Amino acid sequence: MSKIDNKLKLLACFALLLSQAVFAGGDDPETGFRVFPFLQQVKTNSVGITFETHNSDSATIKVSLNSNMSGYIAHSAPTGKIRKMTLSGLSTNTRYYYTVTSDGETSPVGSFVTALPKGSRLPFRFAVYGDTREAAWYEDIVASYGDNDDHLPVCQSMASKAPEFVLHVGDLGRDGTDMDDVINFFDVEKGLLRNHPIVPTYGNHEFSGGSGTGNTYFDSYLMSSGNSGDFAYYSYNYGNVHILVINTGKYIDNDDSYDLLLPGTAQYEFIQTDLQNAAADSDIDHIFVSLHVPVHSASSWGDNPTLVNHLRPLFEQNGVKAVFEGHDHDYQHLEKNGIHYILSGGGGSPILQIGSPSSDATIHKYEDVLNYVIVDVNGSSLVLEAYKVQGQGNSSSSLLERIVF
C-alpha cells in the first residue's frame, strides 16, 4: 500500500469533534457564511475550524491530501450557526486541504500543515502582528491611517510569507462587545486565516472598547486552549518553541494596579509555573511571551510598572528570548537584560505619532508604520524580520529590521 493510500486510510478514521455550537437562532433572510471558515489551534494531529452561517443548517466538511480535493473524506457537522470544531486523527507535519459547505454556500479551498511535534528541530516560520482594529472617529485627528484599507494589506503581505501560524498580540477589533466590529475582523482576515491558524492574545479593546465590564464576543469564535483564567491566557508548543500568552485585561492605565497580573492571582501563578516548566524542558529551545500592553515601550504608553516589577523578573529568570507586544500603534525593538521586546502594533489600526521615544530599555528601532514580524526558527537559531507595509490598499512591503539570535 502506498504512502498516499495509508494517509487516505487515516483520513477515513478522522474524528470530527464538536467543541461548541451556539446561537442556533431563527431564520435570516441572508444565506451562506457570516464568518467564513478559519483555522486555529493547530497541533500535531488536529486543527480547529470555526465558521458561522446566517441560518441554522447542517454542514459538510471535506478534507483531502490533494489541492484539487480529489479523494476527499466528508464529515457532517451538527446543525447550528456558529460551529467551533476540531478535526483530529491527522498525521504530523502534513499538509491538508479542506472546504466547508453549509447554508447553500461552499467555502474556497483552504489548507494547513499540522504542527511539528514538541522537541522537533525542523525549521518552521510564524508571523506576529497586532492592533488590527479600525479607527474610532475621535482618533482621526491624530491618525495617519486606520481602516480596512490598511488592515487587509497587512494580512495579504503576511500571507505571502507562508507562515505555519500567526500570533496576534491583541486588539483584534475596535470593540469586542460590538458584533459588527467582531464580524468585520473575520471578514477582513478570512483570506489569511483560511490557510494560517491564529494564536490569539486578548487586548484591551476586546472588552467593550477598553472601558466596559462585559466579556468579549470573540469568545464565541476563538477556541480555548484549556487553561482557565479571568479571560484567556494559555501556553502553546510548536516544535522546539514555547509561547506563553498573557491577558493584560481591559485596563489601560499605566500604574501598578493590574489585578489580573499581581503576585497571588491565578494568572500570575500560571505564568510563574508555566515559565519554570518550559525552562526545565529539554525539548524547548526558545521561549516567547505574547501580551498586549507592553512591558517596555518608547511610545505613548511607555514602560508599564506592573509588568516591569512583577513579570519581567519571571521572564529573566526563565530564559525568555523575546516578548511580543502591542497597544502602541507602531513598530519597536527594545532590549533589556538580554530580552528582546518586539512591539508590533501596526496591523491596521491608526498609526499614532504620540510622544518622544524614551524607555528604561535600550531602543534599537522605532518606526511609526504599519508592520508585522516574521520569525524563522531553525533548530537553535532564530531570525526575526520586521516588515513595513505600505497600506491604503497596497500590500507591498519592505524590510524594516533583521534580528539574528
Residues 108 and 129 in one domain: no
Residues 248 and 383 in one domain: yes
Give the alpha-carbon dihedral of 165, 134, 371, 233, to 10 degrees.
Answer: -40
Entry pTM: 0.92
- Residue 138: inside a domain: yes
- Residue 360: inside a domain: yes
Identify any residues that bridge with 286 across adjacent strands, giving them in sequence order: 241
Q: What is the Rg, in whole angstroms, of the alpha carbon atoms belonging to the chain?
A: 21
Q: Say what the pLDDT of residue 146 is.
A: 63
Residues 105 and 152 in one domain: no
Q: Say what the pLDDT of residue 161 is.
A: 98
Residues 333 and 397 in one domain: yes
20, pLDDT greater than 50:
no
Percent of residues, the chain, with pLDDT higher than 70: 83
- Residue 119: inside a domain: no
Question: Are residues 170 and 131 in contact, defined by beta-carbon separation less than 8 angstroms?
Answer: yes
Q: Say what the pLDDT of residue 354 is.
A: 63
All cell numbers assigned to 16: 470530527
Conformation bin of residue 221: beta by default, left when phi > 0, alpha when psi is -120 to 50: alpha
What is the chain's mean pLDDT, rounded?
Answer: 87
- Residue 130: inside a domain: yes
Q: Say what the pLDDT of residue 243 is.
A: 96
* Domain final residue pick, 113, 134, 155: 113
Residue at grid coordinates 514538541: 118
In angstroms, how far is CA 158 from the centroid of its own chain? 12
Domain that holds residue 341: 124-404
Average pLDDT over residues 96-125: 97
Domains: count for the chain? 2
Element (H, E) at 22: strand 15-22
In angstroms, how far is CA 333 from the centroid of its own chain? 20
- Residue range 112-157, pLDDT digits in tens: 999 999 999 999 999 999 999 877 655 665 566 566 789 999 999 9
Q: Say what the pLDDT of residue 27 is.
A: 63
Q: Say what the pLDDT of residue 136 is.
A: 65
SS3 346: coil
Residues 178 and 86 in one domain: no
Q: Kindly report which listed range (68-77, 137-146, 253-262, 341-350) carries the lowest average pLDDT score.
A: 137-146
- Residue 253: inside a domain: yes
Residues 101 and 139 in one domain: no
- Residue range 348-398, pLDDT digits in tens: 988 876 666 678 999 999 999 999 999 999 999 999 999 999 998 899 999
244, pLDDT greater than 80:
yes
39, pLDDT greater than 50:
yes
Report the C-alpha gap between 274 and 287 in whole angstroms. 11
All cell numbers assigned to 316: 529573566
240, pLDDT greater than 90:
yes
290, pLDDT greater than 50:
yes
- Residue 118: inside a domain: no
Average pLDDT over residues 244-268: 81
Q: What is the longest distance spanned by two Cα atoms in the chain?
A: 66
Q: Say what the pLDDT of residue 224 is.
A: 66
Q: What is the CATH number of the domain that holds 45?
A: 2.60.40.380
Q: Say what the pLDDT of residue 18 is.
A: 46
Residues 197 and 252 in one domain: yes
Residues 220 and 106 in one domain: no
- Residue range 158-213, pLDDT digits in tens: 999 999 999 999 999 988 888 988 999 999 999 999 999 999 999 988 886 554 44
Residues 85 and 132 in one domain: no
